[in-house]
Amino acid sequence: MSARVAVIGATGTIGATVSGALLERGATVLAISRGERRENAASRARLAAGGAELCDVADLTDVEALTARLRGCDALVVAMRASPRIIPATEPAILEAALHAGIGRFVPDDFGTHSMATPYGVSAHFDEKKRFHEALEASGIEWTVIYPGGIAEYFLPNLRAPATVYAWGDRTLRFPIHTLRDIGAITALAVLDPRAAGHAVQLYSTLVSTDELIATLESHWPGRPYRLDVLTSEQLEHLHLHGEADPGDARLSEREIMGISYANHVLGLLGAPDHPGTLDAGTLYPDHAFQDPLALLADREFVFGPA
């Protein structure tokens, strides 16, 4: 791969993973962040050591400045923190800059639940993502969306203090879950793949239920105490309709969090491989060997945290 790919949010969890996978495959990576801070200094150093070109853009709504940075790039991956307030405030400006810069492929900030398959009204979080998808389609720019399902490093239960395991919604519902390594690899493969243009790419290799996750955790660490936090499907439905609605800042409100959980653990939309325009990553890239995310539950440091 000899493409030049810009990654916005390159020092974050998804952005750093995608940037690393692109570098491994020979791409030139323009790693865009808002600037160096204490919390991203280590990530910036790793990216620079790996060959990425660091680029600071303090204001992502400054279309002129961002356009100048993006010129000469073949593709743009957006991997920022997202919320119903952040998405409409920043992503339209990023899209405008991408269009002015002549970006060939746009990968929006949507690494999770299949938002295209999620109905309007379930959560303001998904509603804003869906509105942006519509703007992306209308813009005429080539695009690809990556839907990894649950990110293993965040979705898997653990026993870190205070040891709490969440069992929300339908505990028997099986959903896709994948490691960051696989999410980065599939994104790097799809970002310039002509077959992925105008499609969502769904990772769907490992399906597990909440009950299976809990059983696997207990099989590796029998007798370890934890608190089980249970919300039924009916409770999730009530809270996504009637929970606290205004957090007063850029964070997700209770209603939005419960709407996301309702989509994931009641509607089963962490994966929607049959949704129109969706391609299965395993079929698209049959030579890619997916990791077993459940192996993390045998890892002491993952389960209990650093010693």
- Model confidence pLDDT, tens digit, residues 177-187: 999 999 999 99
**Amino acid at position 205, single letter:** S
- Model confidence pLDDT, tens digit, residues 79-123: 998 888 889 999 999 999 999 999 999 999 999 999 999 999 999
Picking from 8-12, 36-40, 139-143, 277-281, which range would have the lowest pLDDT averaged per residue? 36-40
Q: Cα dihedral sign for 205, 273, 229, 172?
A: negative
Residue carrying the six token digits 């997202």: 82
What's the distance, Cα to Cα, between the start and end of the chain in Å?
A: 40
The arithmetic mean of pLDDT across residues 167-172, rounded, is 97
Which region holds residue 102: left if phi is over 0, alpha if psi is between -120 and 50, else beta? left
Which strands form 28-33's sheet, in the order they lie side by side? 53-56, 28-33, 4-8, 75-78, 105-107
> Is residue 203's pLDDT more than 70?
yes
Q: What percent of the chain has pLDDT over 90?
A: 84
pLDDT at 179: 97
Number of Cα atoms under 13 Å in the Cβ half of residue 306: 0
pLDDT at 67: 97
- Model confidence pLDDT, tens digit, residues 211-250: 999 999 999 999 999 999 999 999 999 999 988 887 766 6
